[in-house]
Amino acid sequence: MRGDRVTKKIAFKVNDGFLVIKIDGDLDNLATFQYKTKLTEIIKINQFKQVVIDLSNVTFIDSSGIGLVLGRYNQVTNYGGHLILCGINKQIKKTIQISGIASIIDVYEDSFEQLKNSEVLL
Amino acid sequence: MNKLEIKVSAMLENEGVVRNAIASFVSSYNPTLEEIIDIKTILSEAISNAIIHGYDYDKTKDVYVKASIEDNRLELIVQDYGKGIENINEAMQNNFTSKKDSEKTGIGFTIMKSLSDHFEIQSSINVGTKLKITKILQTDEIQANSYER
């Protein structure tokens, strides 16, 4: 039952060759602790060349959430893949900016759906 | 002055409880959404610092959080009685973390400092760490003045 509750806040979808990871709610230490193993395993097993982390439904992020993203970025780039971070809404924008993560990872304010429609990801 | 004091077990589950309680306490002073997010982020970083670095996830230990508001000045104190910080200057540097084997970014102090108006660390080895944070809120009075312009 606990596993069911956790998986409701994180969704994985393969869309046009992209693995899209969509996270809902607060991305704090507790959530990061709960999501990390599953995220790591899915990426490790499938080795997707294109990975998207969409935070448009995230309501809160702290340095642990930034660490989760950076960890997956390192994991994906280590096997030659590409990871982008998108859906930077106003509730998480300031922390994302302070973290300096945009100097390492491609970061977009738009959600994956918006990026796909605007053909940015083609 | 209005104040709120909370003592919680050093468990990650309590991070959200405390940040939402303090946000609720502050909300009666009509802060902006940005201020509430800043306060929640500061608290999350401070409490996780106590749980992870102060106590090494020891759930039998307690984290103490005090919030007080006077006029438009919010004071936050987050305190643990854990192992303390060996080198505060080093800990304040970006991308430094004592948890080398984890995915900790080492930017917790940078975030707290950036989001607060005053940020202070008091720490002694094997005594504990006290973080004192000041956040100046945009009060009703300031907002009312801006409407009159």
When mean pLDDT is compared over A30-34, A112-116, B5-9, B101-105, the highest value belongs to B5-9
| Distance from C-alpha of B131 to C-alpha of B87, rounded to nearest angstrom | 15
Query: What pTM value is reported for the model?
Result: 0.89
Interface test with A, best of B103, B116, B135 (most A CBs within 10 A): B103
pLDDT (0 to 100) of residue A8: 57
In angstroms, the Cα distances linking B84 to A90, A112, B16, B49, B112 are: 35, 43, 23, 10, 18
- In chain A, where the domains are located: 2-45+58-104
Q: Average per-residue pLDDT in chain A?
A: 91
Indicate if the pLDDT at residue B95 is higher than 90. Answer: no
ipTM of the complex: 0.89
Cβ-based contacts of B110 with chain A (< 8 Å): 98
Cβ-based contacts of A62 with chain B (< 8 Å): 41, 44-45, 48, 108, 111
Cβ-based contacts of B115 with chain A (< 8 Å): 94, 98
pLDDT (0 to 100) of residue A122: 60
Report, at the CATH architecture level, how domain B2-148 is classified.
Answer: 2-Layer Sandwich (3.30)
Determine the average pLDDT of the residues in A48-74: 96
Task: Read off the pLDDT band of B33 (50, 70, 90).
Answer: very high
Per DSSP bridges, beta strands A50-61 and B118-124 are unpaired
State percent of chain A over pLDDT 70.
92
Per DSSP bridges, beta strands B2-9 and B62-70 are antiparallel
| Distance from C-alpha of A94 to C-alpha of A99, rounded to nearest angstrom | 9
Cβ-based contacts of B107 with chain A (< 8 Å): 63, 66, 98-100
Quickly count: other Cβ atoms within 10 Å of residue B54's Cβ.
24
Q: Which of B34, B48, B110 sits opposite A64 (nearest CB)?
A: B48
Contact B107 A30 (CB under 8 A): no
Contact B45 A62 (CB under 8 A): yes
For B75-141, give the DSSP string. Answer: EEEEEE-SS--S-HHHHHSTT--S-TTS---S-HHHHHHHH-SEEEEEEETTTEEEEEEEEE---HH
Q: Which positions in chain A have a beta carbon within 8 angstroms of at least one beta carbon in chain B?
A: 26, 28-30, 33, 36, 60, 62-64, 66-68, 70-71, 90-91, 94-95, 98-100
Task: Read off the pLDDT band of B63 (50, 70, 90).
Answer: very high
Quickly count: other Cβ atoms within 10 Å of residue B6's Cβ.
17
Quickly count: other Cβ atoms within 10 Å of residue B116's Cβ.
22
pLDDT (0 to 100) of residue B140: 59
Render pLDDT for B36-62 as a digit per residue (tens, 0 to 9).
999 999 999 999 999 999 999 999 999
- In chain B, where the domains are located: 2-148
Indicate if the pLDDT at residue A3 is higher than 50. Answer: no
Superfamily of domain A2-45+58-104: STAS domain (3.30.750.24)
Q: Which two tokens stand for residue B109?
A: 């102090």
- Give the type of residue at B73: R
